[in-house]
Structures are given as structure tokens and as C-alpha cells.
Amino acid sequence: MPTAHGGAQWHASTVRAIVTHYEGMGDEVMRWLALADRLPMVRRVTERGVETHLEWVDAVFAPDLEGLSRAARKARRAALATATDVYVWHLLRRREGLGREATESAMLAMVEAARGLSQGAPTRAARGAARGAGTAGEGAPAKSARSGASAGSASARAPRGAA
């Protein structure tokens, strides 16, 4: 069972959900993206997919984006969106030939790096948990007070039609 929003198990469930989404429609999305420059109607659909993906990132990783300066938020959002993008899934699965579990692990490592945990810089949620518990170290995944999100909740699920 995933931990509260912001915990390591929760992020693993989130990555698992997006990989499941891409396993089902990632190849089709990649074909649409390949056509987007030539067909205006397809471009509009793929642009909406990008918007949907960014909205999903904003919702799913909200605790990791809160309290940051505008520049830091933009950089972290871009890193999180990239780490969970269909292109990354495609490169890992199709070009590099990784299996599903290895793809999930690689994408989770990218998400954790984007969240700043691999560099020892805790997120705002992690800092709050460390203050509240008094035992969590720097970079330790934290349980956020924003409980209620789980792998089966709308915020943890992959976005519909996301590119």
C-alpha cells in the first residue's frame, strides 16, 4: 500500500501507474507525435496531451513544487515532467530494450533525482516531516500531511490521453 502523498512508496506507485498507461498506449502516442509536425489536427491533439501531462505533474507532485521560487519551481516541474514523459518510456523500452520493471526503476530514479532527493536536498514536504518527526534525515522520503492519495486515486493515476 502506498504511503501518504510524497512518500517513496507513493512515488513508486505513481511511476508504476504512468508506465502502465504507457504500456497500453505509449506506442500509439509516439506515432501521433511523429505526425504532429505534418498534420495540424494531430498537433492540436498532441499539444493537449502535453498540457494534460503538465497538469498531472502539477497535481501529483504538488508538495514537491510548493514553496519554491518561480525559477526553481519551473526547473523542478520540467524535470518531473521529463522524467515521466512518454518519450522517456519509449527510449527505455523500445530503444534500450529494458523490461517493464527496469523501466519503472529507471523512471523512478529520475523522479527522485528531479525531486532533489538524490542530491541530499530535501523537498518542502520532506523538510516538514523532518521537523515534525525529528528523526528524518536530509533527503529522506517524507510522509506528507496531504494524505489520501493512493495508486488508485485520481491524482496518482496516469492522465487520460496524456502524451
DSSP 115-136: TTTTTT---HHHHHHHHHHS-P
Look at residue 9 in the predicted model and tell me its pLDDT.
80
Question: Domain coordinates of the chain in residue numbers?
Answer: 8-133
Tell me the C-alpha distance between 31 and 16, whole Å.
22
Look at residue 6 in the predicted model and tell me its pLDDT.
56
Per-residue pLDDT for the chain (163 aa), expressed as one digit of tens each?
Answer: 233 455 668 789 999 999 999 999 999 999 999 999 999 999 999 999 999 999 999 999 999 999 999 999 999 999 999 999 999 999 999 999 999 999 999 999 999 999 986 444 444 544 444 344 333 333 333 333 333 333 333 344 555 454 4
Tell me the C-alpha distance between 8 and 71, whole Å.
25
CA distances from 94 to 80, 88, 90, 158, 163 (A): 21, 10, 5, 20, 16
Query: Which residue matches cell numbers 496531504?
Result: 146
- pTM equals 0.70
Tell me the C-alpha distance between 22 and 24, whole Å.
5
Tell me the C-alpha distance between 154 and 32, whole Å.
25
Look at residue 116 in the predicted model and tell me its pLDDT.
84
CA distances from 23 to 3, 27, 95, 145 (A): 24, 8, 14, 32
